[in-house]
Amino acid sequence: MKNIPELFGSMVFNDEVMKERLPKDTYKALKRTIVEGRSLDKSIADVVANAMKDWAIEKGVTHFTHWFQPMTGVTAEKHESFITPDGDRGVIMEFSGKELVKGEPDASSFPSGGLRATFEARGYTAWDPTSYAFIKDDILCIPTAFCSYGGEALDKKTPLLRSMEALNIQAMRILKLFGNTTVRQVSTTVGPEQEYFLIDKDLYKKRKDLVYTGRTLFGATPPKGQELEDHYFGVLRPRVAAFMQELDEELWKLGVYAKTKHNEVAPAQHELAPIFTTTNIASDHNQLTMELMKRIADKHNLACLLHEKPFAGVNGSGKHNNWSMVTDTGLNLFEPGDSPQDNAQFLLFLCAVIKAVDEYQDLLRISAASAGNDHRLGANEAPPAIVSIFLGDELTGILKAIEEGSPYAQKQAEEMKIGVHTLPRFPKDTTDRNRTSPFAFTGNKFEFRMLGSTFSVSGPNIILNTIVAEELAQFADQLENAGNFTDALNILIRDVLKQHNRIIFNGNSYADSWPAEAEKRGLLNLKTTPDALKHFIDEKNITLFTRHKIFTKAELLSRYEILMDNYAKVIDIETKTMVRMLRKNIIPSVCSYIRDLAATAASKQNILRELPCETEKSLITMMSGLLDDLYQYSEELEAVLRKTRTYEDIGTRAAAYAYDVFPAMQKLREAVDKTEIHCAKEYWPYPTYGEMLFSV
Ligand code: ADP
Ligand code: MG
């Protein structure tokens, strides 16, 4: 049995290691920089770098890298060794403060939207000292932000850090209004639940679609799928258990609080959830988790699929973003308190979220928009593309009473006055928790469930932090100038509830009636990524992001470009892969089958002219009809693809991929899946769904 407490964080240059290895003054100065978010003094950086290097070398490390999160969706690294000529034909191992604090990777090969044209190609990475350095694969990794030389963000970490700061500033204003003088900082916490599939690696390698696009573009539904519901929380198979154990250990070494693991609803689907932590660290850790999942699966001759919809007809994979706000004194701001004062504060923060989610439904939807996730949102498994909040009947009842100035459900004789009365107690974690809601209050945190499994959690948390910061800013503006704070607070909360109660929906979001009801309420239903993304650069959103200094207008436009372009490229690659698989393997396979059927009939008749060949004839007729369909639909698909590629404007092009190309892909897919069912096994060139889903 391994000593887990000793193992935990053993590959992290964490607080404990710093305390032990840094001179007292340096340690204190570093801590101060971290807390105050200032840049690091050169003399301190040198000492820290040196200690970091010594620690790493003791663990067999020879190289370091700035580890960053460009707009590609995966992390990037550029390895450099510690060696420095010693002036005498030998080398010494060196790592300077300058190398720790700032790196200069070439930015020109990373997506930058329009930014590359306007600004220099060079970029730089800057250490985020709030996220500890760690050793992965014998490389010392320094978590960094990635910017252009002009200071424009080219990554996902920079705006995330900016949004955390924006929320901190506004939340502090509110806490001050409530007379809180001890809190010095408010940050956000995130616990991301991660879903994924594991299949046999040999089968994976035979599926070109999985290799090139991460999902199966063809594949008939197997006779058994998830209908028996026998996989959820089922006993782990030995290979999966071995994988999970190694994954846990490797994550623990990196200081990731991997906590729960279990089988999910679909066959071959699993989930991992860590204990929550500060948002930017949770985001780094989730990136590491996804990377390690892939690598460790490979060692176990498995393939880890992180795509949102690797298999049609069974559940896809999502990521639940559990989010809360916490003070440096350890107070969860979404924890309903016991005193009237605490409750008033809780209600105000709750109202900020309600107003934010209602006013910025579009941005939340955008934060979960991608070609992969379009297969889930709105399908019968994930929340729909409509954003709404679940608060539970109890809390909704209380809010309704406040809004109407009426007593709450006979439990209280008089009208509820915020800041004067305590909230009636309500059960925190009721068992009928609504799992269909895209945004659910779960007692002391919100669970945003729209994210796809491949997503970095940065995107959605940038949005969450920023929209809540905006509402808190508006509240603070109003309350700071109020004569009587309690009266003003009562009016404000009532007004917010009156104006934004349409966003609260406790019913079943999967129900067929919900879209119509949502439309009546005036809620947005942005079905595809291009539909959603075009709102990213709406005037109100540009105002929001620039006001809180999250994105400049140029950065926002560049991100719009990158996301739209990514959507178009993903569908383009999928289309090419589909056509290629069809021409190279599927059509020839069907031809072989037809040829052998014909040969069978011919040889039968050679032996005896009167032998009936009706079965062969009808099989040949059916297969050749299907073959014609395959050919025709692939020609049609290629024609729409050619047309789509001619649209200059990226928004128009992306929309054409969604509304013209995608349906043509679906049409072709249906024909292929039908062909697969009718084709004899030995001719079919690819592993089937049944083989892949039940392979481990
Ligand atoms: P489930 O949603 O599957 O029922 P839980 O509610 O137990 O699971 O928790 C899911 C995730 O929420 C875990 O990663 C947990 O660490 C995280 N979580 C719990 N409290 C908070 C919080 N205050 N802030 C952010 N995440 C939290
Ligand atoms: Mg959950």
Are 48 and 100 spatial neighbours (Cβ–Cβ below 8 Å)?
A: yes
What pLDDT was estimated at residue 584? 97
Q: pLDDT digit string (tens) for 5-58?
A: 999 999 999 999 999 999 999 999 999 888 777 777 888 999 999 999 999 999
204: tokens are 């994976």
**Tokens (6 digits) for 311:** 């298999």
Distance CA 172, CA 168 (A): 6
Phi (first) and psi of residue 333, to 5 degrees:
-75, -10
**CA 429 to ligand 1: nearest atom:** 6
Tokens of 495: 């007004």
Give the integer Cα–Cα distance in Å for 428 and 432: 11
- The token pair at 347 is 């209600």
Helix, strand, or coil here: 271? strand
Name 239's Cβ contacts closer than 8 Å, sequence gap at least 6: 300, 302, 696
- How far apart CA 371 and CA 564 sit, in angstroms, is 10
**H-type alpha helices, 14-120:** 15-21, 24-36, 42-58, 97-101, 115-118
Nearest ligand by distance to the CA of 323 = 1
Identify which of 94, 89, 161, 155 has the alpha carbon closest to the alpha carbon of residue 124: 155
Count of C-beta atoms within a 10 Å radius of residue 409: 13
Q: What is the 3-state secondary structure (H, E, C) of 634-686?
A: HHHHHHHHHHHHCCCCHHHHHHHHHHHHHHHHHHHHHHHHHHHHHCCHHHCCC
Mean pLDDT of 387-399: 91
What distances in angstroms separate CA 276 from CA 10, 233, 259, one per listed residue? Answer: 19, 22, 10
Residue 648: closest CA among 573, 568, 555, 574: 568
Query: Does the pLDDT of residue 427 top 70, yes or no?
Result: no
pLDDT above 70 for 433: no
**pLDDT for 350 beyond 80:** yes
Which amino acid is residue 608, in one-letter code? L
Per-residue model confidence (pLDDT) at position 64: 94
Q: Which ligand is nearest to the CA of 273?
A: 1
Within 6 A (CB) of ligand 1 lie 189-191, 193, 273-276, 322-324, 332, 442, 444-445, 447
Poorest-pLDDT segment among 71-80, 275-284, 536-545:
71-80
- What is the percentage of the chain residues whose pLDDT exceeds 70? 93
Q: Ligand 1 pocket test: which of 276, 283, 429 has the largest number of ligand atoms within 8 Å of its C-beta?
A: 276
Q: Residue 227 pLDDT more than 70?
A: no
Q: Are 114 and 124 in contact (CB under 8 A)?
A: no
**Distances 571 to 198, 338, 579, 645 between C-alpha atoms, Å:** 24, 52, 12, 11
The token duo for 185 is 């900082």
Ligand nearest to the CA of 258: 1
- Which residue reads 């404007």 in tokens? 649
Q: Tokens 């349409």, residue?
A: 502
Which pTM value belongs to this model?
Answer: 0.94
**How far apart (Å, rounded) are the C-alpha atoms in residues 522 and 499?**
12
Q: 123 — phi, psi (to 5°)?
A: -135, 170
pLDDT above 50 (res 85): yes
**Helix %, strand %, coil % of the chain (to 5):** 50, 15, 35
**In 3D, which of 141, 218, 112, 309 has the Cα closest to residue 634?**
218
Please report the atom of ligand 1 found closest to the CA of residue 332: 23
Backbone angles phi, psi at 217, to 5 degrees: -90, -20
Residue type, 277: T
Mean pLDDT for 291-317 is 96
Dist. CA 193 → ligand 2 center (Å): 6
Give the pLDDT score at 215: 98
pLDDT band at 380 (very low <50, low <70, confident <90, very high): low
pLDDT of residue 260: 86
Angle subtended by helix axes 458-480 and 157-177, to nearest 10: 30
Q: Which of 102, 83, 104 is nearest to 92 (CA)?
A: 83
- Alpha carbons 571 and 563: distance in angstroms, whole number: 13
Mean of the pLDDT values across residues 217-226? Answer: 85
Q: How many Å lie between the centroid of ligand 2 and the Cα of residue 447?
A: 7
Q: How confident is the model at residue 414 (pLDDT cuts 50, 70, 90)?
A: low
Which pLDDT score, from 0 to 100, does residue 421 have? 62
Q: Which of 266, 258, 257, 273 lies closest to 233 in space, CA to CA?
A: 266
CB 266 within 8 A of CB 696: no
Which region among 158-167, 407-416, 516-525, 541-550 has the lowest average model confidence (pLDDT)?
Answer: 407-416
User: Which two three-digit tokens encode residue 593?
Assistant: 């089958």
> 219-223, 247-251, 617-621: lowest mean pLDDT where?
219-223
DSSP string, 121-154: SBEEEEE-TTS-EEEETTEEEEEEEEEETTS-B-
On whether the CB atoms of residues 426 and 395 are closer than 8 A, the answer is yes
Which ligand 1 atom is at minimum distance from the Cα of 273? 14
Which one, of 165, 170, 158, lies nearest residue 37 by Cα? 165
Mean pLDDT of the chain: 91
CB burial of residue 474 (10 Å; 0-12, 13-18, 19+): middle
Compute the distance between CA of residue 258 and CA of residue 276 in angstroms, rounded to an integer: 9
Dmax over CA atoms of the chain, in Å, equals 105
Contacts of 124 (CB under 8 A, 6+ apart): 102, 103, 104, 105, 146, 147, 149
Structure tokens at 254: 């990196």
Number of the ligand closest to the Cα of 437: 2
Structure confidence at residue 431 as a pLDDT band (50, 70, 90): very low
Tokens of 680: 């004899």
Contact 611, 696 (CB under 8 A): no
Average pLDDT of the segment spanning 481-496? 93
Per DSSP, 439 falls in state: E
Closest atom of ligand 1 relative to the 192 alpha carbon = 14
C-alpha of residue 193 to centroid of ligand 1, in Å? 8
* H/E element, 161: helix 157-177
Residue 106 DSSP class = B
Among the listed ranges 90-104, 462-476, 536-550, which one has the minimum average pLDDT value?
A: 90-104
Going by CA atoms, what residue is nearest to atom 3 of ligand 1? 193
pLDDT for the residue 426: 57
Nearest atom in ligand 1 to the alpha carbon of residue 259 is 14
- Condensed to tens digits (0 to 9), the pLDDT of residues 628-643 reads 999 999 999 999 999 9
3-state secondary structure 490-529: HHHHHHHHHHHHHHECCCCCCCCCHHHHHHHCCCCCCCCH
